[in-house]
Structure 1
Amino acid sequence: MRKIAKIALYLTLCASLSFASEQFAMSDADRAMYEELLENNPADMMLASGGSLLEELGGDAAVAKFLDIKEDALAAYLAGFPRYLEKFGRVVSIDQMLQGLMHESGKKPYTLKSKEMFQLSSYVKSLANGQPINIDINANEHMKKAYAFGKEVFDTKRGARGLSCYSCHNPSVIGTILRTQPLPDISAKGNASAATWPAYRMTKSNLATLQNRFQGCMENALLAVIPLGSPEMTALEVYFTHEAKGATMALPGLKR
């Protein structure tokens, strides 16, 4: 699965770099770094640490048991997050699910912003590598509401600049270079953005989850940052993930 993930990531990244080259002259040093990290993504080591943390909780079998599914169905099930879980009574992301597993196991849950949770949740999500995103927003009323709320968060303008997520992801600006990368069309068929997070951020030299990336965008736009795991943030992840439905999971990603 790791080989499949690297191939998918390579194809996605090459397409982005080819498109960006028409509008932005990337330095030879940056391009060389991209190529090197494609083969030696530092996030692989971080996910390996996450795998060790999961073993302390009982491994894949413990996650499957907590989710009340068969272990051989785990990969496909994880490719459907965020999802509504009855034992939580709400829609949750993978990291929140893992907090529940830790609590049920008698262990103090990692905070959502901790390095340990980034590593653990990223590893668990990578178990879905090779699977198509299969989030189902019509599964129940909870998912329908989460999707609608996420779209509202995505479209709503905030802050003194009056910016929203849509400001940088609408047809009039898609493909424009921002911070050396072309702005993606997250609603395009086959869009793989959500399928490549968590990812290693070259500019941050660290692993970042999708929600963590959302926070970075908000900071850059001088907007009030929405907390990790909040209803707004989880709903935004639902919306963003649904727009990439069908894309093949390929983790960890590699981002500028």
Structure 2
Amino acid sequence: MIGKKIILASALIGVLAFGGEQFAMSDADRAMYAEMLENNPADIMIESGNELLEEYCGGDAGLAKFLGVSEDELPAYIAGFPRYIDKLGMVVGLDQVLQALMAQNGHKPFALKSSEMFDMSAYAKSIANEEKINIDVNANEQMKAAYALGEEVFTTKRGGRGLSCMSCHSPDVVGSVLRTQPLPDLGSEANKAGATWPAYRMTKSSLRTLQRRFQGCMNNALLAVIPLGSPEMVALEVYVTEKAKDREIAIPGLKR
């Protein structure tokens, strides 16, 4: 059961109209993108993630119990991730919660970079489809610290080129084209990164998480890659997700 997984074609089509997009896609790519809006290849992966959650975590009910909420409350609660989980003692992404739940159930947790974890975390995030991102970066001292660290990671220049996330996503360069790719506003209605990942990447032919996308950017910029699930990477997800606050969740997303 994919549940509330509804891809809002009108929202995604907005990406095609984004400034400079005419340079980012060939006519063939555009046709493929339009087709995938109706038939996202990641739909099958979401269904696989549902089956994995059922097998290893007790399904939606098991996840809700682990998080200390009712099944009815689960969608809105998921829309607040990353968040501080008291029983884990730290700010975590949804995938790390799934790892902890697998371990509690006596299973070896999937690696954060595994396709199984991408599928399962995508399904778990899709439970919150049609909810609005409600991350609260002022909820507690841990979230405040995570947001501050995320901002530092986002803005700090690194590597021999002196690049940061801000180099491609500051207001003064958004809309410019880099290697045929328009540089997006990560919180815009067209992009809303925190609400549309995990997503299917056309250029990779696979489902990816937001943190995995961050790693791809770091590789492209020749920067040291921050590990998935590390405090710095989770903090970066907190910072970017806050930019999409009040945007509607639509998983799986579809990205070039």
TM-score by length of 2: 0.94
Distance 1:33 1:112 in 2: 29
Q: Conserved in 2, the CA contact under 8 Å of 1:153 and 1:232?
A: yes
Contact 1:133 1:248 in 2 (8 A): yes
User: What number of residue pairs does the alignment pair up?
Assistant: 254
| TM-superposition CA deviations, 1:34-63 (whole Å, max 9, x none) | 011111111010111100001112110000
| 1:184-195 alignment runs, 5 A limit | 184-188=184-188, 192-195=192-195
Is the Cα–Cα contact under 8 Å of residues 174 and 184 in structure 1 kept in the other structure? yes
Residue 27 of structure 1 and its aligned partner are, at CA, apart by 1.8
**1:108-138 Cα shifts (integer Å, max 9, x gaps):** 1111111111111111011000000000111
Distance 1:3 1:74, change over 3 A: closer
Q: State the percentage of identical aligned residues.
A: 65
Counterparts of 2:216 and 2:72 in 1: how far apart (Å)? 35
| Cα distance in 2, alignment partners of residues 25 and 140 from structure 1 | 41
- Is structure 2 residue 50 aligned with structure 1 residue 51? yes
Q: Distance in 2 between matches of 1:250 and 1:22?
A: 21
Aligned-residue Cα RMSD (Å) equals 1.8
Partner residue, 2:39? 40
Is the Cα–Cα contact under 8 Å of residues 197 and 208 in structure 1 kept in the other structure?
A: yes
Answer yes or no: is the 8 Å Cα contact 1:84–1:91 preserved in 2.
yes
SS in structure 1 at match of 2:17 = helix
Partner of 1:140: 140
Q: Structure 1 stretch 170-179 or stretch 108-117: which is displaced more?
A: 170-179
Letter in 1 for 2:205: S
TM-score if structure 1 supplies the norm length? 0.94
Q: CA deviation at 1:221?
A: 0.3
Amino acid at match of 2:7: K
Q: Distance in 2 between matches of 1:23 and 1:171?
A: 20
Distance in 1 of aligned mates of 2:92 and 2:80: 11
Q: Is the 8 A contact 2:132 2:245 kept in 1?
A: yes
Name the structure 2 match of 1:164.
Answer: 164
Unaligned runs of 5+ in 1: none
Whole-Å separation in 2 of the counterparts to 1:140 and 1:97? 19
- Relative to structure 1, is the Cα distance of residues 187 and 31 closer, same or farther in structure 2, using a 3 angstrom cutoff? closer
CA distance 1:22–1:185, shift in 2 (3 Å): closer
The Cα shift of 1:187 comes to: 4.8
In structure 2, the partner of 1:87 is: 87
Residue 6 of structure 1 aligns with an amino acid whose one-letter code is I
After TM superposition, the structure 1 = structure 2 runs for residues 1-256 of structure 1, keeping only pairs within 5 Å, are: 5-7=6-8, 10-20=9-19, 24=23, 26-56=25-55, 57-188=57-188, 192-256=192-256
Q: How far apart are 1:11 and its partner, in Å?
A: 2.4
Q: Distance in 1 between matches of 2:200 and 2:5?
A: 18
User: Which stretch shifts more, 111-120 or 180-189?
Assistant: 180-189
Higher helix share goes to which structure? 1
For 1:196, give the aligned amino acid.
T
Alignment check: 8 A CA contact 2:5 2:251 kept: no
